[in-house]
Amino acid sequence: SYELTQPPSVSVSPGQTASITCSGSKLGDKYVCWYQQKPGQSPVLVIFQDTKRPSGIPERFSGSNSGNTATLTISGTQAMDEADYYCQAWDSSTSHVVFGGGTKLTVL
Amino acid sequence: EVQLVQSGAEVKKPGESLRISCKGSGYIFTNYWINWVRQMPGKGLEWMVRIDPSDSYTNYSPSFQGHVTISADKSLATAYLQWSSLTASDTAMYYCAREGPDSRGLPDWGQGTLVTVSS
């Protein structure tokens, strides 16, 4: 089955740029989405189709996807961005949804 | 406004059966797949299963196939997830999520249903 790998944790200082990676075989051939989840809340979609932001998501959130790695970038990171982030793609051979293991973003 | 409203928290004993629900509103229910996602305490998101409400076609993760059953009632705009025999390892938060078209991800999520299985 298809697997997505994320670093367990990433730390960033306020105002700096945070980058969270997601790796998988030929991931660049698939569309990747990213979700933000804060404690006690449901996940929120922040990036879809690799680079697009749903309405209401701040411009500081951006995404890229090439080769075997997709990246979520948060520019000018704010304290409110501290959360768990999950990448997600589809296994095209089975139409199964696949999530990465999640990355805890700490803003300190 | 799209809304997915899930049924309330449940406390069950091992071996008992359970069905939780997810009611969609604010959109045409049969036009979008519904997914169920498990989150065990302190852990990440795990995709379980998805259903096309228009024809009840389903897609199960191998990890959950045979242990849970997904269904949908078009007339009630509601999707269900059920267990015939719960175990302690089913203790988790369960989310339903509406799938967007054209690989747009899961843009809408329910509030979650906490299932606790304990003797």
pLDDT of residue A59: 98
Q: Are strands B113-117 and B10-12 parallel, antiparallel or unpaired?
A: parallel
CA distance A41 to chain B (A): 7
Quick one: pLDDT at residue B101?
A: 87
pLDDT for the residue numbered A71: 98
Instruction: Calculate the average pLDDT of chain A.
Output: 97
Question: What's the gap in Å between the CA of B85 and the closest CA on chain A?
Answer: 25
Cα angle for residues B105, A58, A39 (degrees, 5° grid): 70
Please indicate if any CB of chain A lies within 8 Å of the CB of B1: no
Task: Report the alpha-carbon distance of residue A14 to residue A52 in Å, rounded.
Answer: 24
pLDDT at B25 over 90: yes
Average per-residue pLDDT for chain B: 97
DSSP state of A8: S
Residues of chain A found within 8 Å of residue B9, distances taken between Cβ atoms: none
- Per-residue model confidence (pLDDT) at position A77: 98
The pLDDT of residue B97: 98
> What is Dmax (Cα atoms) for chain A?
41
Report whether pLDDT(A30) > 90. yes
Looking at the predicted structure, is the pLDDT value of residue B107 above 90?
A: yes
- Per the CB < 8 A criterion, the answer to whether B110 and B23 are in contact is no
Query: Which residues are registered as beta bridge partners of A47?
Result: A34
Closest by CA to A35, choosing from A106, A108, A107, A100, is: A100
Give the three-state DSSP class for A79.
Answer: helix
Nearest CA in chain B to A98: B47
The pLDDT of residue A92 is above 90: no
Contact A48 B107 (CB under 8 A): yes
Mean pLDDT of the region B73-98: 98
The closest of B4, B21, B3 to B115, measured between CA atoms, is B21
* Residues in chain B within 8 Å Cβ distance of A56: none
Whether B45 sits inside 8 A of A37 (CB atoms) is yes
Q: A47, A92, A97, A105: which to substitute to probe chain B, counting the most B Cβ within 10 Å?
A: A97
**Residues A80-100, mean pLDDT to the nearest whole number:** 95
Residue A74 DSSP SS3: strand
pLDDT of residue A26: 96
Q: What is the pLDDT of residue A11?
A: 98
Length of chain A as a residue count: 108
Q: Inter-chain contact B44–A96, Cβ cutoff 8 Å?
A: no
A46-87 residue pLDDT tens: 999 999 999 999 999 999 999 999 999 999 999 999 999 999
Q: What is the pLDDT at residue A1? A: 87
> What share of chain B in percent tops pLDDT 70?
100
Three-state SS letters, B63-103: CCECCEEEEEEHHHCEEEEEECCCCHHHCEEEEEEECCCCC
pLDDT in tens, B28-42: 999 999 999 999 999
Q: CA-CA distance, B119 to B100, in Å (whole number)?
A: 39
CB contact under 8 A, A99 and B47: yes
Q: What is the pLDDT of residue B93?
A: 98
How many angstroms separate the first and last alpha carbons of chain A?
36
The span from the CA of A61 to the CA of A51, in Å, is 9
pLDDT at res. B102: 83
